[in-house]
Amino acid sequence: MADARTTQPVLTAREAGWCGCRECGRLNLPDAAVCTLCGMRLQKDPNLQAVWAWLAAGVVAYIPANLYPMLRTSTLGRQQDSTIVAGAIELAEMGSWGVAAIVLIASVLIPVSKFLVIAYLAVTVQRGWPVRGHLRYRLYEVVEFVGRWSMIDVFVVAILSALVRFNMAATIAPGVAAFSFALSVIFTMLAAQNFDPRLLWMTRGPKTA
Amino acid sequence: MQTTPPKPSFWRNLSPVWLVPILAVVISLGIAWRSYNDRGTLIEIIFQNAGGVVARETAVRLRDVPIGVVEEVRFSGDLSHVVVAARIAKGVAANIPENAQFWIVRPEVSARGISGLSTVLSGVYVETAFTPATGSDVRSFNGLEAAPLLMPGREGRRITLRAADGNRLTPGAPVLYRGIQVGHIEAPRLIDGAEGVWVDAFVEAPYDMRLTTAARFWDTSGFSVSFGTSGLRLGVGNLASILTGGIAFDSVSSSGEPLGEGAVFELYTDEGTARSSVLTGVDANALRLTVEFDQSVQGLTSGSDVRYRGLVVGQVSGVSARVVEDEGQVKVRMQAAIALNPEAMGLEPGSGPEALKDFLATQVRSGLRARLAPARLIGSALVIELVDLPETPPAELREIPDGLPILPTVYANLPDFSATAQGLLERVNRLPIEGVMEQAISLMSAAEQLVSQESTRAIPETARALLEEGRKLLSNEKIQQLPGEAVSVLTDIRAILTSFTEQEGTERLIAALQSVEDAATGLTEVTAEVPPVLTDLRGVLEKVRQLKAEELVEAATSLVKGADQFVRSEDTQALSPALSGALQEVEAVLSELRAGGTVENVNGTLSSARDAADAVALAAKDLPALAGRLDRLVGQAEALVSAYGARSPVNDELLSALREARATARVFSQLARAIERNPNSLLFGR
């Protein structure tokens, strides 16, 4: 790939109207609407609508996730609702900096950066901003990889509420936020998945050509 | 070279995935709107102290169901109160009336038990209670310091009790009906201007049905020990009422009528007093008044009567002193709280205190006054008397705000009864009662000994047997054929018996004894001791006639001693067996008579019997004379006594001696009556 940059401009398959299948990788003729091998619908135009849609849904779901209580803890008849941020602050106040940091990273930093990264990638693709090296692709890979870890919060809630059920003494129940947070994570993952990384290279084509 | 296909329209190009965020937005907005819409109404509750209330955590509960959460705890503008702002569920907030009660539930350990234990772990909460009212828009309330004793919306009846003091009346203490808690009391408060305290009590439905005008309340707190004719009585209430105090009530009569509004009852110190109060008649409708006196009220106590024209119309419920300022002078006035019964004053049954007050107000204007009066002829106890004195200066029934109305009084001139009573007691004390009593006792015991002797008791039996024999003899055919002589004998006997019956008291005894003595020859020897006594008596009589008091006393004493000796002497004691023996002899004669069957024999026997009967008649004739003399002696002695004056020891001695003689005679007369009773009925066949 490194020497690809130094080579002479060549006619790419895309420029020739050929289209590769995202599913099986088969190169289809320009007039084919469906992959001849796997029957998948071919995506010829850079379509980012789905990405934007999922991303929007993710952001929308992320708002109640932060406003509503994540955990509903009843300890000896005393009920306490805690939102994500409030829980993290409480943990920090109790001195558990490590746990507080993990919670903050997993449920605030990662989702928010995911939104930003996906939005950035989508914008660059749409506007056809020039690519600077492999930065954007790396960003995409990180987002793809890290996205599932956001679910850690949801898992914690699920496990806690399953384990801590001592009726009077202590009970933990998931709040509304847990549900919407899970939805938010799922939506962003779908957004990332719907993002065709080839588009990153596509934009580069016309500029270099 | 490559033709780009015509760009599809924006809408056609739109991906269906957009539905997802739209849906998410719609749902989020829906949730947001709903939570805003469902957001409760903010109310403010003002507390003196909001210990344990935490913003956004402390719940507000109605009947233990959360209806809201405290949102903010802050101070009032001048830092004097704590304002607790709470969000109350919309539907509930609209029904909270202005008089809703709010209080903070905290764990509480008291003698009545432990309450609010759950708050130890869960933290305090704000409890509310109210009678729902629709469309209320009150948003600010005053919180209570403690849970109200009376929960709004509880069915029941509220009554007021008047007690002497609030010593054992703890707020919340139980009201018991036959040992079951049916309510509780509230904090006692002082009655302004009079003795005692008011205490409100609440009796829950359906127990309030038990409350009638016949209900009486008493204090059950602690132990009660009473000592009376029925012995020692120890009353112990239930444990809670021992610790916190408590009151009980019961209907003391079946004639109770339903209560009106604002019923007032008297709280008695114990059950006995409460039950006996029916008689004194302070009832629920009683009008309470204050009476002020300028004079000493010694002898006037709580429970003293209030009389109106001699009739008990009420009771004094307390006496106290009160400093009043009268025309620039500071005076101490004695004050008595009284309760008047409207019915006793002659108002219609069921009349309330107000009716009586109006009545009294008009009466006072026309001269009705209260006055102290002695309760009894002797003794210092006082009562309050309501009297009509039209000539007195005009006065009014004075109404005092928040206190009892004051009934005007007049000064009463009370004699010093205690001095008189003391003098009387001293005189009684000087009487030689003990000596007289001792002598009487010794005489009585001697007499009792004689009477209780078996042989004495056997006399009636023997007499009866004798008479039985006689009856058999009379029913004998041969006897019936006897000439008129027999009949005359029998008539004689009957006459004797009639005279026997006619005699009364002491005479009868002596007559009986004398007759029997004369009839039976054997008896005469034994009773030789009797005549000396009689001679003694005669001697006494002689001496009395000569009015020689000293000798008379001596003689009387010796007579008594002689009588005593006579009674005690073995001969007298042996008299009874001798009497029985004589009777048996007669019996033997009669049976012989019956067995023999010869007319001559019968005739002889009858004539001798007639002689005997004649002798008996003679003796019987003599005896009343003797008795008469004895009576005269007594009469003369009494005259002598009166001549000597009321308080001479001689007289006392003499009187006691004579009384002893009479007592002895009475014992004998009883004996005679016993002898007489059965023969009579047998002889006359009925």
State the best of B1, B2, B17, B22 to mutate against chain A, taking most chain A CBs within 10 Å.
B17
The whole-angstrom separation of Cα A70 and Cα B558 is 122
Could you tell me if A29 and A90 lie in one domain? no
- Residue B21 has its nearest CB partner, among A17, A60, A78, at A60
* Amino acid making up residue A85: V
Give the model's pLDDT for residue B423.
73
Q: How many domains does chain A have?
A: 2
Which tokens go with B580? 């029985």
- Residue B394's Cβ-side half-sphere holds a number of Cα atoms within 13 Å equal to 4
CB-based contact B672:B591 (threshold 8 Å): no
Residues of A in contact with B21 (CB under 8 A): 53-54, 56-57, 59-60, 187
User: What are the distances in angstroms from CA A208 to CA A131, A198, B671?
Assistant: 10, 16, 162
Could you tell me if A24 and A53 lie in one domain? no
Q: Would the CA dihedral through B379, B380, B385, B389 be positive or negative? A: positive
Which tokens go with A56? 């929007």
Could you tell me if A35 and A52 lie in one domain? no
Give the model's pLDDT for residue A206.
45
Q: Which three-class secondary structure state does DSSP give residue B328?
A: coil
* Smallest Cα distance from B96 to chain A, Å: 26
State the best of A49, A176, A188 to mutate against chain B, taking most chain B CBs within 10 Å.
A49
Could you tell me if A182 and A155 lie in one domain? yes
Query: Cα A115 to the chain's mean position, in Å?
Result: 7
Contact A78 B17 (CB under 8 A): no
Contact A78 B2 (CB under 8 A): no
The whole-angstrom separation of Cα B610 and Cα B488 is 9
Contact B15 A50 (CB under 8 A): yes
* Amino acid making up residue B176: L
Question: Which helix (DSSP H) or strand (DSSP E) does residue B265 occupy?
Answer: strand B264-268
Could you tell me if A128 and A76 lie in one domain? yes
Give the model's pLDDT for residue B85.
92
Residues of B with CB under 8 A from a CB of A: 2, 13-15, 17-21, 23-25, 28, 31-32, 57, 118, 121-123
Could you tell me if A79 and A179 lie in one domain? yes
Residues of B in contact with A182 (CB under 8 A): none
Name the phi and psi angles at B470, rounded to 5: -55, -45
Residues of A in contact with B13 (CB under 8 A): 49
Could you tell me if A139 and A199 lie in one domain? yes
Q: What is the mean pLDDT of chain B?
A: 72
- Residue A187 has its nearest CB partner, among B14, B15, B20, at B20
ipTM associated with this complex: 0.74
User: What are the distances in angstroms from CA B144 to CA B46, B50, B71, B183?
Assistant: 9, 11, 19, 21
CB-based contact A18:A27 (threshold 8 Å): yes
Higher pLDDT, A55 or A32: A55
Give the neighbor-by-neighbor strand order of the sheet with B305-308.
B368-374, B382-388, B305-308, B311-326, B329-340, B287-293, B406-407
Contact B15 A80 (CB under 8 A): no
State the best of B15, B22, B26, B64 to mutate against chain A, taking most chain A CBs within 10 Å.
B15
* Smallest Cα distance from A37 to chain B, Å: 25
Could you tell me if A31 and A61 lie in one domain? no
Q: Name the residue in chain B with its Cα closest to that of A58.
A: B21
Whether the pLDDT of residue A5 is over 70: the answer is: no
State the best of A79, A167, A179 to mutate against chain B, taking most chain B CBs within 10 Å.
A79
Residues of B in contact with A80 (CB under 8 A): 57
Which tokens go with B337? 């709280």
* Structural domain of A40: 1-44
Give the model's pLDDT for residue B680.
45
- Residue B25 has its nearest CB partner, among A50, A54, A60, at A60
Give the model's pLDDT for residue B612.
56
State pLDDT tens for residues B350-384: 667 788 888 888 888 888 888 888 877 666 778 88
Query: Cα A198 to the chain's mean position, in Å?
Result: 17
Could you tell me if A35 and A58 lie in one domain? no
The whole-angstrom separation of Cα B102 and Cα B110 is 21
Contact A56 B21 (CB under 8 A): yes
* Smallest Cα distance from A190 to chain B, Å: 10
User: How large is the average pLDDT for residues A84-94?
Assistant: 86
Which tokens go with B571? 């001969």
CB-based contact B201:B166 (threshold 8 Å): no
Contact B2 A17 (CB under 8 A): yes
Burial string for A72-110 (b: 16+ CB within 10 Å, else e) reads bbbbeeebebbbbeebbeebbeeeeeeebebbbbbbbeb
Burial (0-12, 13-18, 19+ Cβ within 10 Å), A65: buried
* Smallest Cα distance from B55 to chain A, Å: 12
* Smallest Cα distance from B60 to chain A, Å: 14
Residues of B in contact with A77 (CB under 8 A): 118, 121-123
Could you tell me if A28 and A93 lie in one domain? no
- Residue B28 has its nearest CB partner, among A50, A64, A79, at A64
Give the model's pLDDT for residue B535.
64
Contact B20 A54 (CB under 8 A): yes
Residues of A with CB under 8 A from a CB of B: 17, 47, 49-50, 53-54, 56-57, 59-61, 63-64, 76-80, 176, 183, 187, 194
Q: Considering A26, A44, A62, which residue would you say is the last residue of a domain?
A: A44
pTM for the full model?
A: 0.44
Residues of B in contact with A47 (CB under 8 A): 15
Higher pLDDT, A160 or B569: A160
Residues of A in contact with B17 (CB under 8 A): 49-50, 53-54, 194
Which tokens go with B327? 């025309």
Whether the pLDDT of residue A106 is over 80: the answer is: yes
Contact B20 A47 (CB under 8 A): no
CB-based contact B145:B103 (threshold 8 Å): yes
* Smallest Cα distance from A2 to chain B, Å: 31
Query: Which residues does B44 contact at the CB level (< 8 Å), separation at least 6?
Result: B83, B84, B85, B86, B139, B140, B141
CB-based contact B381:B319 (threshold 8 Å): no
Which tokens go with B167? 């010593």
Residues of B in contact with A61 (CB under 8 A): 24, 28
Q: Where are the alpha helices (DSSP H) in B39-124?
A: 90-93, 118-122
For chain B, list residues with pLDDT below 70: 1-9, 12, 110-113, 150, 153, 193-194, 221-231, 233, 235-244, 253-256, 276-285, 349-351, 377-379, 415-421, 456-457, 460, 470, 473-655, 658, 665, 667-686
Could you tell me if A78 and A109 lie in one domain? yes
* Smallest Cα distance from B124 to chain A, Å: 10
Could you tell me if A33 and A128 lie in one domain? no
The whole-angstrom separation of Cα A108 and Cα A128 is 30
- Cross-strand bridge partners of residue B305: B315
